[in-house]
């Protein structure tokens, strides 16, 4: 057992240990891929631990241990260690942009679910436009891996949603070719072709409710809904001429209607 696993174990809520319905609900929401164990630690407790670890003299060594473990396969780190790894990158003090970006580049390829991706993106307060952050994201927009694309999309939404970068965001979204993006999660039609959910899960892949790559598609929909909230006219003008697939536009409408900021705003 790793040091971080030992530190996380006491933080597992008793309810997660004792209540099957609660435990399965939590695991279902995360929807980690087979082999990635979820132990149920709450985000505030993980963040508190991450801040403590990031302040240690051996913080860089702990980050390196995460990197080595991740290279051994999905079973080597539990979901909460993946979260902790990203939180530590965001909490490290006295890091240059170059050093922290180097840690980011080693971390992002191992992101394999939406919860890890979105929390890391949201916590990247150090990721500033003036420091070349947009150039970093452009490379991930061009990736063929689902969560690298989602990382780029959610990071753009979180840190570059302004008048200057909005056209660039739209350009990157319109340039996505979803048929090229590889996913370890299969949608309904693919699950049927593969022989059912049990067969898919036993092969190490996950199941989602929408067309694959579902999490990349949903990331784009979320980004568009956020753009609609801040720049409704620009967003609608872009969508009149965009090349985005119909299912992505439907997801966007759903996200817009779910948000209190855009519930009464026309999406088109």
- In this prediction, residue 94 carries a pLDDT of 85
Pair (20, 91) in one structural domain: yes
* Tokens representing residue 157 in the block: 């939404």
* CA pair distance 147, 135, nearest whole angstrom: 18
pLDDT tens track for 136-185: 999 999 999 999 999 999 999 999 999 999 999 999 999 999 999 999 99
Pair (147, 193) in one structural domain: yes
**Does 128 have pLDDT greater than 80?**
no
- In this prediction, residue 184 carries a pLDDT of 97
Are residues 137 and 54 in contact, defined by beta-carbon separation less than 8 angstroms? Answer: no
Strands 206-207 and 185-186: parallel
* CA pair distance 157, 6, nearest whole angstrom: 35
* CA pair distance 220, 218, nearest whole angstrom: 5
pLDDT grade for 57, boundaries at 50, 70 and 90: very high
Domain-located, residue 133: no
Domain-located, residue 225: yes
pLDDT tens track for 79-125: 999 999 999 999 998 888 899 999 999 999 999 999 999 999 999 99
Pair (147, 264) in one structural domain: yes
Domain-located, residue 131: no
* Range 9-33 average pLDDT: 97
Pair (121, 163) in one structural domain: no
Residue with tokens 């693919």: 190
Of the three residues 92, 126, 160, the one that is the final residue of a domain is 126
**Does 257 have pLDDT greater than 70?**
yes
Pair (190, 245) in one structural domain: yes
- Give burial (CB, 10 Å; 0-12/13-18/19+) of 92: buried
Pair (110, 209) in one structural domain: no
Pair (146, 122) in one structural domain: no
Pair (186, 252) in one structural domain: yes
Average model confidence (pLDDT) across the chain: 95
**Which residues constitute the domain of residue 62?**
1-126
pLDDT grade for 237, boundaries at 50, 70 and 90: very high
- In this prediction, residue 18 carries a pLDDT of 96
Pair (147, 99) in one structural domain: no
Q: What is the largest CA-CA distance in the chain?
A: 53
* Tokens representing residue 255 in the block: 């996200």
Pair (119, 161) in one structural domain: no
Are residues 115 and 151 in contact, defined by beta-carbon separation less than 8 angstroms? Answer: no
Domain-located, residue 22: yes
**Does 228 have pLDDT greater than 80?**
yes
- In this prediction, residue 1 carries a pLDDT of 66
* Range 29-42 average pLDDT: 97
Percent of the chain exceeding pLDDT 70 equals 99
- In this prediction, residue 130 carries a pLDDT of 63
Pair (65, 149) in one structural domain: no
For residue 236, what are the CA distances in angstroms to 11, 108, 241, 249? 46, 31, 9, 12
* Range 211-240 average pLDDT: 97
Cβ neighbors of 39 (< 8 A, separation 6 or more) are: 8, 9, 12, 16, 78, 79, 80
């Amino acid at each position: 057992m790793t040091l971080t696993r030992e530190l996380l174990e006491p933080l597992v809520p008793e309810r997660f240990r004792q209540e099957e319905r609660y435990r399965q609900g939590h695991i279902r929401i995360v929807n980690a891929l087979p082999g990635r164990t979820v132990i149920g630690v709450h985000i505030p407790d993980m963040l508190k631990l991450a801040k403590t670890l990031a302040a240690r003299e051996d913080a860089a060594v702990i980050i390196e241990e995460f990197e080595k473990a991740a290279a051994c396969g999905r079973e080597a780190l539990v979901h909460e260690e993946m979260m902790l790894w990203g939180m530590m990158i965001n909490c490290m003090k006295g890091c240059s942009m170059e050093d922290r970006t180097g840690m980011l580049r080693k971390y992002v390829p191992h992101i394999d679910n939406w919860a890890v991706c979105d929390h890391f993106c949201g916590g990247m307060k150090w990721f500033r436009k003036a420091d070349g952050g947009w150039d970093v994201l452009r490379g991930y927009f061009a990736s063929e891996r689902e969560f690298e694309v989602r990382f780029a999309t959610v990071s753009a939404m979180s840190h570059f949603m302004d008048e200057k970068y909005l056209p660039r965001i739209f350009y990157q979204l319109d340039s996505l070719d979803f048929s090229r993006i590889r996913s370890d999660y299969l949608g309904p039609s693919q699950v049927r072709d593969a022989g059912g959910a049990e067969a898919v899960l036993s092969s190490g892949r996950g199941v989602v409710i929408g067309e694959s790559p579902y999490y990349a598609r949903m990331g784009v929909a979320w980004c568009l809904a956020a753009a609609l909230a801040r720049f409704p006219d620009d967003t609608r003008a872009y969508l009149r001429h965009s090349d985005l697939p119909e299912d992505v536009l439907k997801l966007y409408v759903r996200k817009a209607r779910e948000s209190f900021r855009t519930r009464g705003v026309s999406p088109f």
